[in-house]
Each structure stands twice: as C-alpha cells, then as structure tokens.
C-alpha cells in the first residue's frame, strides 16, 4: 500500500535523510577522542623507550613482560610527565622503573622488587645486575588471616593499606621540604596465584606527590607452615629521604641521595640526553 505525503513533507524527509547520512558518515569516520588528541613528543619518546631495556630472570632467555602501571606528572618539582612501569615474571613484579625527563635528560630510574637475581640488558649488553633483593617483607601486625575468597582478599588489602602512611622527608638536612604523601585508594597492580613459591595474592599501592609515586607499598598473602598471613614491604621511587609507618610505628626508612650509578645496586638510574625536538618542546612549555 502506498502512503501519500505532501511534497513539502517529502522534501523535509529528504533533507533530514541527507543530514542523517552525512552525520552518520562523519561519526563513522571520526576517530575516538583519545585518538584525535595529539600525542606529545615526550610521551611518544617515553613509550618508545620501553624497548630500550629488557630484564631477564636468572637463567631465562625470555625477557620479563612490561606493564605501564601509571602515567603521572609532578608540578611540585616541575616534571612535565612520567610513567611508572612494572617488570613481571609470571605476573609477579620483579622490578619497577620510573621514566621521566629531568634537565634535558630522559631518566630511567630502576628499583628491584625481586627476591632473586636478574639482569637488565640494552642491545644485548648487561647494564643492571643487582646483587641482592630490593625488598624486605615483614608480617603485618594484628592482621586477620587472608580470606579464601579473592574478592574478599582485595578488600582486605585495601583496608590494610589504609593503616600505612609514607612521608617524603626530602633532600634538605633540616627537612623543611617534608611532606606527607597521599595513598592512592586503588592499587596500581594486583597479582594472584604465583605458580612457584608461597605467595598467592598481592598488590602494589602507591604513595604520591601530586600524581607522582614517591614510595610503593607491596602487600602479599603468604602461605607458610604456621598458616596464611599478610606481609608488607616498602620500596623507594625517588632519591629523596623517605619514611614508612604502620599506624604510629616507623617500619621503613630510605636515605636521601642513594647511590644511583652502580650497576650492582638495587636503585639504578640511566640518564640519556633528550632528542633536540623533545627538549625544545619542553622548553617552549616552560
């Protein structure tokens, strides 16, 4: 059956149809907002630099997986941008790296999270060979045992993290640059069911200045002969002096200006000159 419409209505339908078609075509062809946003030269360089260094567990020819845990900025210290990267073996963090620009350099600031030896390589050559573990785990006092349920364990770990605090004691001897750091409510990373060892759950939390992680807190569920329990460890993410507390007790301290140029150290920084275009783009922003 044919329905009759006035000519004006038909013309209106035609115009509306054309407009819809053009609109649909534009919507289909337009990239998502995040793709339209221009990637800065610095971010492009940092992303490329993930391939500059590879970490290998002792005796392994397979490089550790990398995971960008967080992108951040630190306006307090004038850092245009940076990112925190975890190096993983079977999902377990073995090292962490902060990548950021500083004084016309791109810095890769590595810290060991491993209980065993590993080697960092660049273009097939050894560049970082820490000789000891970077973490010292301790039992969390008065903590209830880990739940048998993963969802409940995550709630437990968040609750336990809130009982810790971390303070940036800074770089000055008089500590006038002291600052209490802010705990991010969500972990940067969670790892479960280690295929080896006695760890069966864990999280990495961050204490930040701005959005820049200055210290990390690892909380793990550990099975031992006496049953399951929670353990914790802090790790630095800066050259400044740091302190970690559980409730009112100081449980961790990191000296300011640790050696950062020793390939055998647990804290190791590799600075590389920024390309001219990246350095100039940062200078223009300044």
| Mean per-residue pLDDT, 105-124 | 95
Q: Which of 70-84, 157-171, 188-202 has the lowest mean pLDDT?
A: 70-84
How high does pLDDT run on average in the chain? Answer: 85
What's the Cα-to-Cα distance from 36 to each of 24, 29, 39, 71, 278, rounded to whole Å? 18, 12, 9, 19, 20
What is the per-residue pLDDT across 231-285, written as a single tens digit (0 to 9) for each?
999 999 999 999 999 999 999 999 999 999 999 999 999 999 999 989 888 877 6
Choose among 216, 207, 210, 206: nearest CA to 80: 210
Question: Cα 92 vs. chain centroid, distance in angstroms?
Answer: 14
45 φ, ψ to 5°? -65, -45
What is the per-residue pLDDT across 194-213, written as a single tens digit (0 to 9) for each?
656 789 999 999 999 989 99
Choose among 167, 169, 165, 134: nearest CA to 241: 169
DSSP string computed for 125-174: EEEE---S-S---EEPTTPPPPPSSHHHHHHHHHHHHTTEEEEEEESSTT
Q: Which of 32-41, 167-176, 184-193, 217-226 has the lowest mean pLDDT?
A: 32-41
């Amino acid at each position: 059956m044919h329905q009759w419409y006035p000519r004006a209505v038909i013309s209106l339908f035609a115009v509306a149809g054309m407009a819809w078609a053009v609109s649909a075509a534009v919507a289909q062809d337009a990239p998502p907002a995040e793709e339209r946003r221009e990637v800065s030269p610095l971010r492009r360089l940092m992303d490329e630099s993930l391939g500059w260094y590879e970490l290998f567990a002792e005796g392994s020819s397979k490089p550790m997986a990398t995971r960008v845990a967080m992108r951040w900025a630190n306006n307090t210290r004038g850092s245009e941008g940076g990112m925190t990267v975890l190096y993983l073996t079977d999902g377990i963090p073995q090292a962490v790296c902060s990548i950021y620009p500083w004084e016309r350099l791109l810095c890769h600031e590595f810290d060991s999270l491993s209980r065993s030896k590993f080697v960092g390589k660049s273009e097939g050559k050894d560049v970082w060979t820490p000789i000891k573990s970077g973490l010292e785990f301790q039992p969390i006092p008065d903590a209830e045992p880990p739940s048998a349920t993963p969802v409940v364990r995550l709630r437990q770990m968040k609750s336990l993290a809130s009982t810790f605090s971390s303070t940036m004691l800074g770089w000055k001897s008089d500590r006038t640059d002291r600052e209490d750091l802010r705990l991010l409510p969500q972990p940067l990373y969670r790892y479960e069911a280690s295929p080896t060892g006695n760890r069966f759950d864990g999280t990495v939390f961050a204490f930040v200045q701005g959005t820049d992680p200055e210290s990390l807190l690892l909380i793990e569920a550990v099975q031992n002969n006496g049953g399951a329990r929670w353990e914790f460890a802090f790790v630095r993410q800066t050259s400044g002096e740091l302190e970690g507390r559980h409730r009112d007790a100081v449980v961790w301290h990191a000296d300011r200006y640790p050696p950062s140029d020793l390939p055998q150290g647990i804290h190791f920084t590799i600075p590389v000159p920024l390309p001219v275009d990246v350095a100039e783009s940062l200078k223009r922003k300044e």
